[in-house]
Amino acid sequence: MGITYKVQSSLRRILPESVRPYKTILLKWMLFGGLVRVLLMPIFASGDLLSISSWSFFLKVNHQLILSNDSPFIFYLQTFMYTIFGPLLPSRVFSDILSNTVYTPVGLSSLFRISSPGILAFITVSKIPYLFFDFATALLLLHLVNDGRKAVQAFKLWILSPVSLFVSYAIGQYDIIAVFFVMLALYFFAKNKTILAMLSLSVSSAIKMFGIFLIPPMILIIIKRSTNARAKAKILLLLLAIGSLPFILTQISLAVTPKVYESVNAALPHNDEFNGYFGKTFYSRGVPQPPFLQGLFTIALNYSTSLKTYILLGDVIYIFFLVYGLLLLTIIWQDNWPLEKVWKAFLVIFLAYYAVALFLPQWFLWAQPLLVLLVLKERRFLKLYLISLPLFFVYTWYWNQSLTSNLLAPAFNQAYFWPGPIDLMNNIGLPGIQVVNVFRSLLSAVCIFIAVVIAMSGARANLPRISFWRVEEEDKKE
């Protein structure tokens, strides 16, 4: 009686009170969503997933970490998965990496890996953790929407999210794990557990660096809740310590794990593919820098649109940081920051980034649960959300076959040689890149529009606080 009651009550606690009447519907949608995902898992894989899988397999077999731009967390996680499912997995899939065979270009190895017997099992096992974090994110959405009916709609919208399906199960990128921790941070924030919120956010940032942009706004918002300067300083130090904890742990894990010397072919151009050791120097994206800093600078600066002021000086204004700065000022300016305004602020950061900077397709997942919340909050955003989806998928064509036809290669090996959409457009006389760029511009327009509408509605709600407008308000009253 005791145990069964406990099991039942803890199962109940997973679902918020407001959605319990809809549990049958939720279960059906969960099974449907699960089935779709499980079917998609073995069919698709990108070169990135195959690299992460092979390096994780190498870590499992040789207990050595291959340094890369990815967080070591994902390699430990996949190694754990391969250990759990080890007896069911074939051993010859990544024989090249274990036999000191290296391909130039690195992508050439994909062809040999996708045709290895049992590769589909490897791809599927690699994606199983995504399934867990995917559904956990859906569950958090249920907790973040108070209205039961709307929460169920949010759940359905997330289950059907084509961006989520594409990023996690077609490309096979692990951004869903970091996204889950962002949503968990919002959950803790809603429960007034700000320290846990901060910790969750920093875990997210340690997994995927993009989340680092959310830490300063969160710190500012939490500090605002303190009343005096002494308390503010104390909480600031605490938050900074918590914020840096996952990064410190990551560095410790890197320090204690033996690392393999993955050499780079220095005959290649020094571009994004130039990653590894040459001599005693580790190169990341062609630059001899520690991966952490290089990754951050690449994302924050190199990928951003910028305005140069005077041609003879290096004075440059980065558009993303301009918007980001405005948002931080807004947080400093306004006092009251309830949950809704927090996730809207996060959403504005992501949308601003997508609008003005080069973003890898998997990063678009970051805004998706927040867009779901937005659509549920205000129905009129549904149109914009739906418009953004096809525009995003055209944007992925920029990566030509690697994120389109090649994704099918594990299930249909010939797809490795199929042309991509840019090739097809070029073949029929259309300027492929320019066509994609037109749609990319439209995607930027949608992102800016949503961000501006959010910002304006937020500003309008705060207008009475500004003395100049207060006069107008008072005039209206009269």
Partner 1 sequence: MRINKQSENDIGMKKKVFYVAILILLLFVVFPIEYIKLLSSLRSNIEPHLSLGWEDNSFRTDYEDAVWIDQDFAQGWTIAWTTGQENGSAGFDASAGLGHLYATFNNSLGGIMVQKSLNDIDTVEYPYLVIGHKETSSDPSLMFSFGVTDDKGLWYDGGWHHTSMSWTKLEFDLRSLINGTIRCVSIRLTNDFDHSYASGEQSAYVQLIGIYAEAPDWVMAYNEPINASISSENGTLEIHGSGGLSSGTIVSAQRPKGLLFNSSEYSYLKVSIKTSSINVAARVVVWVDQSHAYAVLLKTYDDNAWHTEIVDISLFGATSSSLYMVELGWMQIDEGYESTVYYRQLSFDSLGGY
Q: How many Å apart are CA 96 and CA 116, to the nearest integer?
A: 11
Q: How many Å apart are CA 162 and CA 40, to the nearest integer?
A: 12
- What minimum distance in Å lies between the beta carbon of 423 and partner 1? 17
Stretch that binds partner 1, among 98-106, 186-194, 362-370, 444-452 (CB under 8 A): 98-106
Q: 396-404 — which CB contacts under 8 Å span 24+ positions? A: 396/166, 396/361, 397/421, 397/422, 397/432, 397/436, 398/422, 398/433, 398/436, 398/440, 399/361, 402/46, 402/47, 402/107, 403/46, 403/171, 403/361
Site string for partner 1, 40-59 (x = CB under 8 A): --x-----------------
3-state secondary structure 128-186: HHHHHHHHHHHHHHHHHCCCHHHHHHHHHHHHHCHHHHHHHHHHCCCHHHHHHHHHHHH
Stretch that binds partner 1, among 59-67, 102-110, 144-152, 206-214 (CB under 8 A): 102-110
User: Of 97 and 199, which has the nearer Cβ to partner 1?
Assistant: 97
Stretch that binds partner 1, among 7-15, 163-171, 175-183, 427-435 (CB under 8 A): 7-15
Residues 270-329 that bind partner 1 (CB under 8 A): 277-280
* Size, binding site for partner 1 by CB under 8 A: 48
Does 10 contact partner 1 by CB under 8 A?
no
- What minimum distance in Å lies between the beta carbon of 71 and partner 1? 24
Q: How many Å apart are CA 245 and CA 239, to the nearest integer?
A: 10
Backbone angles phi, psi at 75, to 5 degrees: -70, -40
User: Of 125 and 422, which has the nearer Cβ to partner 1?
Assistant: 125
| Binding residue (CB under 8 A) for partner 1 from 241, 252, 266, 430 | 266
| Binding residue (CB under 8 A) for partner 1 from 53, 71, 78, 124 | 124
Distance, first Cα to last Cα, the chain: 66
| Binding residue (CB under 8 A) for partner 1 from 83, 95, 101, 427 | 101
User: Of 279 and 429, which has the nearer Cβ to partner 1?
Assistant: 279
User: Of 264 and 422, which has the nearer Cβ to partner 1?
Assistant: 264
| Binding residue (CB under 8 A) for partner 1 from 114, 221, 345, 371 | 114
List of residues 6+ apart from 217 with CB closer than 8 A = 327, 328, 331, 342, 345, 346, 349
| Binding residue (CB under 8 A) for partner 1 from 12, 20, 62, 108 | 108
Q: How many Å apart are CA 37 and CA 33, to the nearest integer?
A: 6
Residues 152-211 that bind partner 1 (CB under 8 A): none
Contact positions vs partner 1 (CB under 8 A): 1, 4-5, 7-8, 11, 38, 42, 85, 88-90, 99-105, 108, 111-112, 114-121, 124-125, 128, 261, 263-267, 277-280, 412-414, 416-417
